[in-house]
Chain A
Amino acid sequence: MDRDPPVAEDVATLVALPFGIAIAWALARKDFWGKALLDGLVHLPLVLPPVVTGYLLLIAFGRRGVIGGFLADLGIVFAFRWTGAALACGVMGFPLLVRAIRLSFEAIDARLEDASRTLGADSWRVFLTVTLPLALPGIIAGMVLCFAKALGEFGATITFVSNIPGETQTISSAIYTYLQTPTGDAAAARLVIVAIIISLIALVASEWLARRAGTRLHGG
């Protein structure tokens, strides 16, 4: 490896975001065949034991997996790579992301979207200029929850892509590894502090952003 892989937790949150917004919107606003099934699938990682989720990911996205094999031909490999760690983190955080965004979509007054349509906005522009900005506080909250879940992600990641330092380690699995080595206490403590700091910053930042977005929405 000639470079450090990106931090799996960050990549997971960012890549999951557009999918999360799309699915949350569909669940909040559309009626379609299989909606209950999609809802269930999205929430599955929340209730399944993480090891089971990791195992399912391994079956689907492993080198010989159904999807993994196909993607490997395209040069996208998840197995035992940081991309796999990001995928696992993303899948585990996804239900929380979708949930928060969906709630904020549902809270938006659809009559504002009607007003926007009479003012000449097609569906796409209604979404971009009215729905999305009004959902912003929920989207931020969802991202923080997803990121926090990814930080704590252990079971699914370790099952799917193992625990390879500098490649597939999340902050949680790294702390675990250090605790297993006789001289690792100090390193583990350092990571614990890092985890606390990152979590605090994420919480404070999201609170601040949501408050700012909130005052913007309700007259400020």
Chain B
Amino acid sequence: MLTVEVEKQLGEFRVIAKFEAPDGVTALFGPSGSGKTSIVNMVAGLVTPDRGRIMYNRTLLFDSSGVDEPPHRRHIGYVFQDGRLFPHMTVAQNLDYGRRMYRLPRDSAAQARIVDLLDVGHLLERRPGKLSGGERQRVAIGRALLMQPRLLLLDEPLASLDAARKREIFPYLLRLRDQQVPMIYVSHHAAELRRIATTVVRVDSGRVTGVGGAELLDAADADAL
């Protein structure tokens, strides 16, 4: 369970978010520019809230009274919209990066399982510059999984892909959900979230306007009409 209660002023824009995300896939759902990415950046530790607290299970990650666990000690995986693979490393080195940095023992069974799950075995020796958008995003997901995160953040992981590539990646994300990897999934696409989310947190202009189930996605569609 992730507990978020944060405030952050970003220029003219103010984020005030309070919600609880049980295990499973929690969707942060709202229009572009509503502050979803800022919220996950605070959970990851890349952005420091002005006030509030962030807790995962029993671990305090941030508290304005003086706790601020740095990102490299949070054990929270992050799949960015634009992949952000390291261009100077091969796919294999990208995949292994988190394990090396977190000084985890080499676990070739886990590695083989994830390489298999994401179908990236034939890409291992290539460099990110030589990958298609879909391949790059699969490697990015694998890289985040191989650091053995306790929670996985996905920020519009499909947004930079065309429809065919989306269909290519989505089944892998469903598989992750079915393997009980806890996820926070940011998107502004109701259709995508309807298939994967177990909890929906609706975000509008920096505020959380509702927490519930898939019905929040339907309400949003109604708004759009």
How distant is the Cα of A114 from the Cα of B103 in the complex, in angstroms?
19
How distant is the Cα of A7 from the Cα of B73 in the complex, in angstroms?
46
Fill in one digit per residue for A109-149: 1 if any B CB lies within 8 Å of its CB, else 0. 10110111111111001000110011000000000000000
Complex partner residue of B88 from A117, A119, A120, A217, CB under 8 angstroms: A217
Instruction: Pick out which of these stretches binds chain A: B108-116, B126-134, B215-223.
Output: B126-134
Size bracket of the A interface: 20 to 34
Least Cβ distance of A156 to chain B in Å?
37
Tell me, yes or no, whether B170 is within 8 Å of chain A by CB. no
Which B100-149 residues have C-beta < 8 A from chain A?
101-103, 127-130, 143-144, 147
User: Does B127 contact A119, Cβ atoms closer than 8 Å?
Assistant: no
Complex partner residue of A220 from B97, B101, B129, B147, CB under 8 angstroms: B129
Q: Chain A binding site: helix, strand, loop or mixed by DSSP?
A: helix
A114 — which chain B residues lie within 8 A by C-beta?
A: 46, 71, 84
B128 — which chain A residues lie within 8 A by C-beta?
A: 219
User: Does B101 contact A111, Cβ atoms closer than 8 Å?
Assistant: no
Instruction: Pick out which of these stretches binds chain A: B48-56, B74-82, B158-166.
Output: B74-82
Interface size on B, residues (CB 8 A): 30
Least Cβ distance of B89 to chain A in Å?
8
Q: A121-B72, A134-B87, A217-B87 are in contact. Are A115 and B80 (CB under 8 A)?
A: yes
A219 — which chain B residues lie within 8 A by C-beta?
A: 87, 127-130
Least Cβ distance of B28 to chain A in Å?
17
User: Does B101 contact A115, Cβ atoms closer than 8 Å?
Assistant: no
Q: A116-B97, A117-B72, A119-B143 are in contact. Are A130 and B82 (CB under 8 A)?
A: no
User: Does A120 contact B87, Cβ atoms closer than 8 Å?
Assistant: no
Tell me, yes or no, whether A218 is within 8 Å of chain B by CB. yes
How distant is the Cα of A220 from the Cα of B131 in the complex, in angstroms?
11
Q: Which residue of A lies closest to B83 (CB)?
A: A115
Complex partner residue of A118 from B76, B82, B86, B103, CB under 8 angstroms: B76
Q: A114-B46, A134-B88, A219-B130 are in contact. Are A119 and B80 (CB under 8 A)?
A: no
Tell me, yes or no, whether B98 is within 8 Å of chain A by CB. yes
A220 — which chain B residues lie within 8 A by C-beta?
A: 127, 129-130
Tell me, yes or no, whether A30 is within 8 Å of chain B by CB. no
User: Does A115 contact B147, Cβ atoms closer than 8 Å?
Assistant: no
Tell me, yes or no, whether A3 is within 8 Å of chain B by CB. no
Tell me, yes or no, whether B210 is within 8 Å of chain A by CB. no
Q: A216-B127, A220-B129 are in contact. Are A119 and B87 (CB under 8 A)?
A: no
How distant is the Cα of A116 from the Cα of B89 in the complex, in angstroms?
12
- Further 10 A-B residue pairs, CB within 8 A, beyond A117-B45, A122-B72: A109-B84, A117-B70, A118-B76, A118-B78, A119-B144, A120-B102, A129-B101, A133-B88, A134-B87, A217-B129
Complex A-B: 27 CB contacts under 8 Å: A111-B82, A112-B86, A114-B46, A115-B80, A115-B86, A116-B97, A117-B45, A117-B70, A117-B72, A118-B45, A118-B77, A118-B144, A119-B72, A119-B77, A119-B143, A120-B102, A120-B103, A121-B72, A129-B97, A129-B101, A133-B88, A134-B87, A216-B88, A217-B129, A218-B129, A219-B127, A219-B129
Which residues does A use to contact B, with CB under 8 Å?
Answer: 109, 111-112, 114-122, 125, 129-130, 133-134, 216-220
